[in-house]
Amino acid sequence: MAEVSNRVLAALLIVAIIVSLGGTLISLQKIKSMKFVPITGFALGPTYGYVNLTVESVAGLDFTDAYARIDFGTGYVEAGETTRACTMWINGTITSPEWWNSTYCRDEWNKTWATGETPLELVNIGTTYLNVSIQSNETASQYLPTQASGGTRLKWWFQDNETGSCNDSVTLGSWNDVTTTKQQVCQCLNFTVSKNSLAIGAYVNITSDIDPDLLDKETKVTWTATAVDLGATASC
């Protein structure tokens, strides 16, 4: 049997393509005019589709990872004839932190603790206004009990981290002893990026008569920032 030449193959291919395309077109025309609706890829209805998208508002509160810790480090209070105290605090904003420690702070508590430290940053990461309050699970004397003086102190300080974050003025904008009852911090925290964050400062005062025997090493102080959702169109 003689071999088929390339020319003949090309001609056959062209014929096959023409027959195939022609058959497809004729079939589609026939199907369109049929009274029942067979399963085909032919679009019979409107040639457009609908996409429904509902964006729901979200309420969210976040301690920014990079500014979610204050490390006072390891240290002790220099002992003396009478009870002495070491006070350390940090406040201000993330970009302009301020800190201080008193005379009898020793080891890392004496100045070195503040390197690179900032206040905590609490951010409204949602799309609604928030009413923010703060509460501690323990007071200073519960967390750092003393033998006699009762002088230990834990305090907090709140302020706008970005100007205009709190639509009303921030309350607790000075050093206040932590409380186990809820205290309002900001009645209306904005959600607009660039003005949606609060800075939280911390103050610790430790006396030299702190009672290690009474201290529960498993106990911890937890500050809970609670935000009540005010909605995206709140009047504030």
Residue numbers at the binding site for another protein (CB under 8 A): 56-65, 68-80, 88, 107, 120, 122, 125-128, 130, 147, 160, 162-165, 167-168, 194-195, 200, 202, 204, 206, 208-210, 212, 218, 220-233, 235-236
Distances (CA, A) of 56 to 102, 126, 145, 158, 195: 50, 11, 48, 30, 22
**What single letter denotes the amino acid at residue 187?**
Q
Q: Which residue type is seen at 107?
A: D
6, two tokens: 């390339």
What b/e sequence results for 141-161 when a residue is b if at least 16 CB atoms lie within 10 Å of its CB, and e otherwise? Answer: ebbbbbeeeebbbbbbbbbbb
For another protein, give the closer residue by CB, 41 or 80: 80
For another protein, give the closer residue by CB, 23 or 164.
164
Distance CA 225, CA 63 (A): 9
Indicate the residue among 31 and 63 with the shorter CB distance to another protein: 63
- Of residues 31 and 195, the one with the C-beta less far from another protein: 195
Burial of residue 201 (CB within 10 Å: 0-12, 13-18, 19+) is: buried
Nearer to another protein, 3 or 81 (CB): 81
